């Protein structure tokens, strides 16, 4: 299959070092883009300053470079794209698809936490802006790995925040505007499966195309539960990234003999790209793999 129009992406939030779960998404999205003969872009999702960790942007990009995973175009930084998000928000407000919302967190909590109508008793100096999600907003899509996903966004999510009351852009708006500009294929972790229907609704409201989606399974810790934040934050060794890449490759269900004889990153990536088989991707969560005779891939 060769599809030069294919455009994939990896979009980390700079909330800490690149961890094994993000490496899985980075490598998985890179392999699928290479397999399609398409492009792969890196986008830094730094629209949430309270959660941004100083040094994390450069640290993540340096780690990706050490892993040989280099963007095929300029790296986009969401913090520099305010004008695009502003224009999208203006369009939605003008078309009455979005509205200014003065509800406080406690007023919303009293309504069950799902916004269906404004219940604010007072105007706030800095209101949020939400997407109108009317009854019947049921979204169905076919995920490349997880099958058919259906969500009633009205009853399960409610009116989606687009600009937060603290003035920052909501992830949902920024990701939809940016994916809408060039991305044909979103490959990312299954923790975002639940966000996809609201992103599709937002694409429709903005008149943007819906990309294809493929959600990779999440990593499980040794106890069989999802990796905790602290475990997930174990850094990868940038001086020795190949063990972590090999581990991600196995976690993606791929043939472990491919690239086994290679001990440098770039030739390993070439062999991996040539030998990658999307039919082997595992749909379910991935247990921790222990491989006899191999040192722990992640430096503590
Ligand atoms: N920035 C998000 C994260 O790091 C990923 C967003 C996406 O892939 O859509 O979890």
Give residue limits of the domains in the chain.
7-79+217-287, 81-216
Given this model, what pLDDT does residue 20 score?
Answer: 87
Query: Can 226 be counted among the known catalytic residues?
Result: no
The 3-class secondary structure across 227-264, one letter per residue, is CCHHHHCCCCCCCCCHHHHHHHHHHCCCCCCCCCCCCC
Domains 7-79+217-287 and 81-216 are alike in CATH topology: yes
CB 227 within 8 A of CB 286: no
Substitution candidate for ligand 1 out of 13, 22, 213 with most atoms within 8 A of CB:
13
The Cα–Cα gap between 213 and 198 comes to 13
Q: How far is CA 61 from the centre of its chain?
A: 16
Q: Considering 51, 140, 229, 280, which one is annotated as catalytic? A: 229
For atom 7 of ligand 1, which residue has the closest CA? 11
Non-local CB neighbours of 274 within 8 Å, separated by 6+ positions: none
d(CA 274, ligand 1 centre) in Å? 27
The Cα–Cα gap between 100 and 103 comes to 9
Rounded to the nearest 10°, the torsion over CA 275, 280, 284, 289 is -50
Non-local CB neighbours of 92 within 8 Å, separated by 6+ positions: 98, 131, 162, 205, 206
Within 10 angstroms of residue 129's Cβ, the number of other Cβ atoms is: 21
Substitution candidate for ligand 1 out of 171, 187, 232 with most atoms within 8 A of CB:
171
Q: Which two structure tokens, joined as six digits, stand for 16?
A: 């800490």
pLDDT in tens, the chain (300 residues): 689 899 999 999 999 999 888 999 999 999 999 999 999 999 999 999 999 999 999 999 999 999 999 999 999 999 999 999 999 999 999 999 999 999 998 999 988 899 999 999 999 999 999 999 999 999 999 999 999 999 999 999 999 999 999 999 999 999 999 999 999 999 999 999 999 999 999 999 999 999 999 999 988 777 776 665 555 545 688 899 999 999 999 999 999 999 999 999 999 999 999 999 999 999 776 665 433 333 333 332
Does the C-beta of 11 come closer than 6 Å to ligand 1?
yes
The Cα–Cα gap between 92 and 131 comes to 8
Query: Nearest CA to 159 among 120, 209, 210?
Result: 120
d(CA 26, ligand 1 centre) in Å? 11
Query: Nearest CA to 287 among 234, 246, 227, 229?
Result: 227
The Cα–Cα gap between 158 and 105 comes to 14
Given this model, what pLDDT does residue 23 score?
Answer: 95
d(CA 116, ligand 1 centre) in Å? 26
d(CA 11, ligand 1 centre) in Å? 5
The Cα–Cα gap between 119 and 102 comes to 8
For the 7-79+217-287 domain, the top CATH level (class) is alpha beta
The Cα–Cα gap between 126 and 232 comes to 35
Superfamily of domain 81-216 in CATH is HUPs (3.40.50.620)
Non-local CB neighbours of 177 within 8 Å, separated by 6+ positions: 81, 84, 85, 88, 206, 208
Does the C-beta of 46 come closer than 6 Å to ligand 1?
no
d(CA 119, ligand 1 centre) in Å? 31
Does the C-beta of 188 come closer than 6 Å to ligand 1?
yes
The Cα–Cα gap between 202 and 184 comes to 16
Does the C-beta of 13 come closer than 6 Å to ligand 1?
yes
């Amino acid at each position: 299959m060769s599809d030069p129009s294919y455009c994939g992406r990896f979009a980390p939030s700079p909330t800490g070092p690149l961890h094994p779960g993000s490496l899985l998404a980075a490598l998985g999205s890179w392999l699928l883009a290479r397999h399609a003969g398409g492009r792969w872009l890196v986008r830094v999702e730094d629209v949430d300053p309270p959660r941004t960790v100083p040094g994390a942007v450069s640290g993540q990009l340096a780690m990706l470079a050490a892993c040989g995973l280099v963007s095929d175009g300029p790296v986009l930084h969401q913090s520099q794209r305010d004008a695009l998000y502003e224009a999208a928000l203006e369009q939605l407000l003008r078309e009455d698809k979005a509205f200014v919302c003065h509800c406080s967190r406690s007023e919303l909590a009293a309504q069950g936490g799902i916004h269906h109508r404004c219940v604010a008793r007072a105007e706030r100096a800095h209101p949020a802006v939400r997407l109108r999600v009317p009854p019947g907003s049921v979204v169905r899509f076919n995920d490349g790995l997880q099958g058919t996903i259906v969500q009633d966004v009205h009853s399960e999510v409610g009116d989606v925040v687009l600009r937060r009351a603290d003035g920052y852009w909501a992830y949902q708006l920024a990701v939809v505007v940016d994916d809408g500009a060039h991305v044909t294929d979103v490959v990312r972790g299954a923790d975002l499966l639940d966000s996809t229907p609201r992103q599709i609704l937002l694409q429709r409201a903005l008149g943007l195309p819906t990309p294809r989606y493929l959600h990779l399974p999440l990593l499980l810790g040794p106890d069989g539960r999802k990796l905790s934040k602290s475990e997930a934050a174990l850094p990868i060794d940038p001086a020795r990234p190949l063990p972590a890449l090999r581990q991600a490759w196995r976690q993606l269900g791929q043939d472990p003999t491919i690239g086994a004889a290679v001990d440098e990153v770039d030739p390993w990536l070439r062999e991996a790209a040539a030998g990658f088989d999307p039919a082997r991707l595992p749909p379910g969560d991935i247990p921790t793999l222990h491989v006899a005779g191999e040192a722990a891939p992640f430096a503590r």
